[in-house]
Chains A and B, each alone.
Chain A
Amino acid sequence: MSARVVIVGSGPSGIGAAITAADLGLDVTVIDAFDAPGGQVFRSLPAAFRPTRRQPGDYVLGESLRHRFSAAPLRYLPRTRVWHVGHDLVVEAAGPRGASRHPADVLILATGAIERVVPFEGWTLPGVVGLAAATILLKSDRMTPGETVVVAGRGPLLAAVAADCVKIGARVAAVVDANGPSDWLAVAPRLLARPDQFGRGLGWIAALRRAGVPVLFRHRLQRVESRDHQLVVEVTPVGRELGDTRRFACDAVAVGDGLVPDVALSRLLGLVHRGDRLRGGLVPDVDAAGRASRRKVYVTGDAAGIAGAAAAFERGRITGLAVAQDLGLAPLGGQRATLAAARTRLTAADIFAGASRRLMAVSEADYRHLAPSTLVCRCEDVSVAEINAAIEDGAGDLDQVKAWTRCGMGPCQGRFCGATVAALAARQLGPMPSESGSFTPRPPVRPVAIADLIGRGDGAAA
């Protein structure tokens, strides 16, 4: 009997690992929360949409990945959420047909990244969405977040989102970039490691120029207010908190400050993690093939540290080959060549990703200006002042902050407040070891209906 390989996530890294392991004859099950494989960068179109004319490059690439995935001999469970993995490597999931359990001989976590947002007054208003969230609307729903959009934060996604909004016909009131031209110039040589992407970037910038979109370098969002069915955005220069405020009216704001690995499952399993600011804060300690601190467990793609979608596919393939090798399967003739090619492409992708990481990086200084009333925790309405008070009262790590304030206790399980609380805590307590500088995840790591877990009494979901 071949080993049961369970892969959580069907983004580029999950696809890479899945097709590689399946082609080598392993018994592969892929579990994913979404409708179709591809992850966030290579989102598919809704089945009822009929593509016309020329399609965006990411969609075309995604279709080829989906084609390869669907041709591979594997089991695929879409719309299914993994809410727990026990130490016995039994994966607990809930999907359209209710709860299911998947015992794994080998577990590959390909859970990807989530967005980081440095909070500001009004970031919880309806109409304010994440920057990666905006790309999902653009790629899958083929719509802009609004008619008039302010695009803010940091990293290459700023230009991508703004240019796509312009292309569809929305007005971009402003692009607000925490970085300056010198920051972009400093990474330009590394961006050239992928000439295709570099060219795409130049195209975005040209489109923004033609549309006359104001680009505010070294600026950040100070506040968003809802007034007369509009959002009014206040923008200030980074590092100068008084004066020079500019205002823009819009009906949507897309804001994001980089990506962080979704480490909920890797932390739940008790894998060793390490701090790596550029790769997204707390990252699982894995080798180049994704082997984690525990045998039979692998973490691959952005879940093992941010390097982007192109790198993720190659990382997934390398992990798939490593799994086969670790199981003692004799290497086939073509595999060595596959591995060498994957490593070569990964090297180029990672040089490019290094530039993106630099542009997306945040430091403690980015959290210094937070107003006391600003919400940190969206789920439980916990403010900066409440977090600071808890730390002043003696909360010594993030779990204590959570217990005292409920920050991180809501349904997102601390995914959107964790980085902020860590930065606020580090200001008062100094640098913390990685485990106490983050929330301890508890099952269920994703919200799941009780009915889905216990069944409905008709045997359908037992």
Chain B
Amino acid sequence: MRDEKTVMRTAAVIDFEGERIACFIGESLVAALAAAGIRALKISPKRAEPRGAFCMMGICQDCLVEVNGVRRNACLEPIADGMVVRRVAP
């Protein structure tokens, strides 16, 4: 749930797996996706279970995605309008 009281945001739209996600410029990609109900970002290597952002500081790597074709931690990636985001292949 976003705090509407302490900040003003500027709208953006990104593409996640072909789906248009309305979000805000500068917020983390994790925040943008979570607000749209998308939390599963990666598949674990052995049990093939879904994983999502856990540490929010670029350490756990459970939020690794491809942003415009380059691997990035979604927790460290600020939203830019028109960003194209894909899950990484397991």
Contact = CB atoms under 8 A, between A and B. Distances in A.
A55 B2 contact: no
Interface string A117-150: 0000000111111101110111011111111000
B89 interface: no
Given A35-B78, A52-B8, A143-B3, A114 B49 contact: no
Given A125-B50, A381-B44, A381-B47, A141 B27 contact: yes
Interface string B17-59: 0000000111110110011000111001111011111111111
- Label chain B's interface by main secondary structure: loop
B2 A143 contact: yes
Contacts of A114: 55, 57, 59
Interface in A33-59: 33-35, 40, 45-56
A231 B17 CA distance: 24
Contact of A48 (B10, B46, B71, B75): B10
Contacts, number: 157
A125 B44 CA distance: 11
Interface in A154-177: 168-170
B57 A40 contact: yes
B8 A49 contact: yes
B49 A124 contact: yes
A418 to B, nearest CB: 12
B7 A126 contact: no
A411 B57 contact: no
Contact of B28 (A125, A138, A140): A140
Interface in A96-113: none
A46 B77 CA distance: 11
B52 A449 contact: no
A358 interface: no
Nearest to A128: B54
Nearest to B32: A141
A381 B54 CA distance: 15
Interface residues of B, number: 45
A381 B55 contact: no
Q: Which label, helix, strand, loop or mixed, suits the secondary structure of the A interface? A: loop
A142 B54 contact: no
Given A48-B26, A133-B53, A33 B76 contact: yes
B6 A52 contact: yes
B30 to A, nearest CB: 8
A378 B60 contact: yes
Given A33-B76, A125-B50, A412 B25 contact: no
B61 A447 contact: yes
B53 to A, nearest CB: 6
Question: Which of B46, B51, B56 has the largest count of A CB atoms less than 10 A from its CB?
Answer: B56
Most buried by B among A132, A133, A447: A133
Contacts of B49: 124-125, 381
Contacts of A234: none
A114 B10 CA distance: 31
A115 interface: yes
Nearest to A148: B1
A81 B56 CA distance: 15
Given A48-B25, A127-B52, A53 B78 contact: no
A129 B6 contact: no
Contact of B1 (A136, A144, A379): A144
Pick the most buried of A50, A140, A147: most chain B CB atoms within 10 A of its CB: A140
11 contacts: A45-B26, A51-B7, A55-B6, A56-B6, A126-B53, A132-B55, A133-B75, A143-B3, A375-B47, A381-B44, A446-B59
Given A35-B76, A129-B52, A449-B71, 11 more contacts: A50-B8, A52-B7, A54-B6, A124-B44, A126-B40, A126-B41, A137-B31, A143-B3, A147-B1, A378-B51, A378-B60
Interface of B: 1-3, 5-10, 24-28, 30-31, 34-35, 39-41, 44-47, 49-62, 64, 70-71, 75-76, 78
